[in-house]
Amino acid sequence: MADLIQEEWVEELENDSSAVILDVRTAEEFEEGYIPNAINIDIRQGQGFIDELEKLDKSKTYYVYCRSGARSAQACSLMEQLGFEEAHNLLGGILEWEGDIVEE
């Protein structure tokens, strides 16, 4: 797991053909705006979160974010324990995100 500042996160994401963007906030937070192409799995679902993670391809590289970077750091740690090869945490989360945001 790596904690990446936005510039590093974006650079690695753009150069990674197997990248998956994972938003671990609540569905309500996700609907308020999210990074383009992100999938949403709420870390607060507990076992439900783990069940959803288990459905994902563990060989891909995951770029994980939340509101501020705390929940996504927890998610990356959990993903590592579950056998995911690479999960990168966005430091500062969407609060400090300066890129595009999709609003519904």
> How many CB atoms within 10 Å of residue 95?
10
Answer yes or no: pTM beyond 0.85: yes
The C-alpha atoms of residue 63 and residue 60 are separated, in whole angstroms, by 10
Contacts of 8 (CB under 8 A, 6+ apart): none
Which of 21, 16, 15 shows the shortest CA–CA distance to 35?
A: 21
**102 forms bridges with which residues in the sheet?**
34
Give the model's pLDDT for residue 8: 95
pLDDT tens digits for 46-85? Answer: 999 999 999 999 999 999 999 999 999 999 999 999 999 9
Whole-number mean pLDDT of the chain?
A: 96
The partner residues of 64 in beta bridges, in order of sequence, read: 22, 89
20-32 pLDDT, tens digit each: 999 999 999 999 9
Domains of the chain listed by start with CATH number = 2-96 (3.40.250.10)
Q: Using alpha carbons only, give the angle 57, 60, 64 rounded to the nearest 5 degrees.
A: 100
